[in-house]
Amino acid sequence: MQESAIVLLSGGLDSATCLAIARQRGYRCHALTFDYGQRSLAEIEAARSQALAQRVAGHRVLQVPLGEIGGSALTDHAIEVPSPGKEGIPATYVPARNTIFLSHALAWAEADGAAAIFIGVNALDYSGYPDCRPEYIEAFRRLMQVATKSGVEGRAITLEAPLIDRSKAEIIRAGSALGVDYANTLSCYQADSAGLACGQCESCELRRQGFAAAGIEDPTRYRRPAKS
Amino acid sequence: MQESAIVLLSGGLDSATCLAIARQRGYRCHALTFDYGQRSLAEIEAARSQALAQRVAGHRVLQVPLGEIGGSALTDHAIEVPSPGKEGIPATYVPARNTIFLSHALAWAEADGAAAIFIGVNALDYSGYPDCRPEYIEAFRRLMQVATKSGVEGRAITLEAPLIDRSKAEIIRAGSALGVDYANTLSCYQADSAGLACGQCESCELRRQGFAAAGIEDPTRYRRPAKS
């Protein structure tokens, strides 16, 4: 029987690639997207389009109350999205976001008997978020073993982070080879309601540099050109 | 300045006691309750009453979509609440419940600069849930250190589980000494809308035995007497 996987799907470039990799590895994929009070609901639309294009077995959009908790430029509109290049962990960091996302994925995986969870974090061309690093993924793996009935009973669910050590250019090349349509992905922290990217934030910058380094044309629709 | 703590408050006996202990330790306490599709909404009312009686600095009730995920007798009404005494982890186990609860507590603690999170799990008189054991708490502590900006920057949030190795009778004696009014707590897995406990489920049985062993009168309002 084909094994199932829960794949976190944000609507961004990384998670779209991660889904394509999970499919290539032979899993029956269920996509999981969160409506968490993010600035741009166009992200969720991009996730729906990816889920459809990649013919997932199911797609859930779960509401989680991160907007009520705040503490981030992405969920509290009183905090400005910073320009790229500042030192340290930027204001776009959302407290415990991946822990909240993975805990729901774990619940779904256990309830439905899925064998694996896929998350598209990468720790190379990234914003320095603590919950995108290999030590975080390792700590969540350890938690999964002791947190669940399936873990205690020896039917462990695995946590896969296939992009963790890849550059943005490598991710784009891998996804392109697997047929991912990046025109239907959205990386921008402050896209408008039509899905146009700002072209200025750190996420736009990482994306643009990635396409350039991969030698692949960037299909992103930007509102403004790159800063010179 | 008085340090803050986020205290998970379910409306049950353990979490009410845990809150009293956190207050005794000098924390300014913020209570956190989840509306997760549990069978009995009377639990949430009990949590509100405890939060009020114990004069918390704030109380949030967050909605999380465990009912959509299912996989438990507590969130899927098609699964029956089992009688006590069966072998193994019972059908009342909710996949990844404490991981989902703690991840939100972590987000709130980090967003608001709280120093600690309190959770009232105990691994002695309990239903065998994997996410109530010391090894689970230890794994979540490790995760917290690497998951958050505060952890990475050396301002670690601590996770306190002061009941982990106490018997139900010890918990009841400790809470009674701190003035907890157990009449306003609810442990039953299937209380009715008026807050009457079934008197038959494993949680009712553990509670009843705890009061008997503590030599303290049980103020619980049961629909039916104990099984003989």
DSSP secondary structure, A56-72, as one string: -SEEEEEE-THHHH--S
Q: How far is CA A79 from the centre of its chain?
A: 22
Higher pLDDT among residues B67 and B111, named by residue: B111
What residue in B sits closest to A94 (Cα-Cα)? Answer: B107
Of B69, B89, B152, Cβ closest to residue A107: B69
Domain boundary assignment for chain B: 4-181
Q: b/e map of A137-154 (b: 16 or more CB within 10 Å)?
A: bebbbbbbbbbbbbbbee
CB distance A37 to A66 below 8 Å: yes
Which pLDDT value is given to residue A142?
Answer: 96
Return phi, psi of residue A76, to 5°. Answer: -120, 110
Identify the band that residue B227 occupies on the pLDDT scale cut at 50, 70 and 90: low
Helices (H), chain A: 13-24, 42-53, 66-69, 97-112, 134-147, 149-152, 168-177, 202-214
**Token pair for residue A79?**
């905090």
Task: Kindly list the residues from chain B whose CB atom is less than 8 angstroms away from the CB atom of residue A139.
Answer: 139, 142-143, 145-147
- Superfamily of B4-181 according to CATH: HUPs (3.40.50.620)
Backbone region of residue A113 per phi and psi (left: phi > 0; alpha: psi in -120 to 50; beta: other values): left
For the cut 60, the answer to whether the pLDDT of residue B84 exceeds it is yes
Which pLDDT value is given to residue A2?
Answer: 92
Backbone region of residue A195 per phi and psi (left: phi > 0; alpha: psi in -120 to 50; beta: other values): left
In angstroms, what separates the C-alpha of B16 from chain A's closest C-alpha?
Answer: 23
| pLDDT tens per residue, range B10-47 | 999 999 999 999 999 999 999 999 999 877 788 999 99
- % of chain B with per-residue pLDDT over 70: 97
Which pLDDT value is given to residue A207?
Answer: 94
Nearest Cα residue to B17 out of B227, B171, B133, B156: B171
Which pLDDT value is given to residue A87?
Answer: 74
How many residue pairs bridge chain A and chain B with CB atoms within 8 Å of each other?
144
ipTM over 0.85: yes
| pLDDT tens per residue, range B123-179 | 887 888 999 999 999 999 999 999 999 888 888 899 999 999 999 999 999 999 999
- What is the distance between the alpha carbons of residues B180 and B186, in angstroms, rounded to a whole number? 13
In angstroms, what separates the C-alpha of B90 from chain A's closest C-alpha?
Answer: 10
Describe the crossing of helices A97-112 and B97-112 by its angle, rounded to 10 degrees.
170
Tell me the C-alpha to C-alpha distance, in Å, between residue A47 and each of A16, A39, A187. Answer: 8, 15, 11
Of A60, A99, A152, Cβ closest to residue B143: A99
- For A4-180, the fitting CATH number among 3.20.20.70, 3.40.50.620, 3.40.640.10, 3.90.420.10 is 3.40.50.620
Nearest Cα residue to B110 out of A128, A129, A69, A133: A69
- % of chain B with per-residue pLDDT over 90: 69
Which pLDDT value is given to residue B226?
Answer: 59
- What is the distance between the alpha carbons of residues B128 and A3, in angstroms, rounded to a whole number? 28
Which pLDDT value is given to residue B149?
Answer: 92
Helices (H), chain B: 13-24, 42-53, 66-69, 97-112, 134-147, 149-152, 168-177, 202-214
Q: Which residues lie below 8 Å from residue A164, measured CB to CB, with a gap of 6+?
A: A121, A122, A123, A134, A137
Q: Which residues lie below 8 Å from residue A181, measured CB to CB, with a gap of 6+?
A: A53, A219
Strand, coil or helix: what is A7? strand
Task: Kindly list the residues from chain A whose CB atom is less than 8 angstroms away from the CB atom of residue B30.
Answer: none
- What is the distance between the alpha carbons of residues A45 and B220, in angstroms, rounded to a whole number? 49
Which pLDDT value is given to residue A7?
Answer: 98
In angstroms, what separates the C-alpha of A78 from chain B's closest C-alpha?
Answer: 14
Q: Which of A218-227, B68-77, B95-104 has the lowest mean pLDDT?
A: A218-227
Residues of chain A with pLDDT under 70: 225-228
Return phi, psi of residue A17, to 5°. Answer: -70, -40
Of B62, B102, B139, Cβ closest to residue A65: B62
Of B63, B66, B103, Cβ closest to residue A96: B103
| Contact flag A65-B64 (C-beta cutoff 8 Å) | yes
**Token pair for residue A210?**
């990635």
**Token pair for residue A55?**
């013919």
Return phi, psi of residue A197, to 5°. Answer: -80, 155
- What is the distance between the alpha carbons of residues B133 and B122, in angstroms, rounded to a whole number? 7
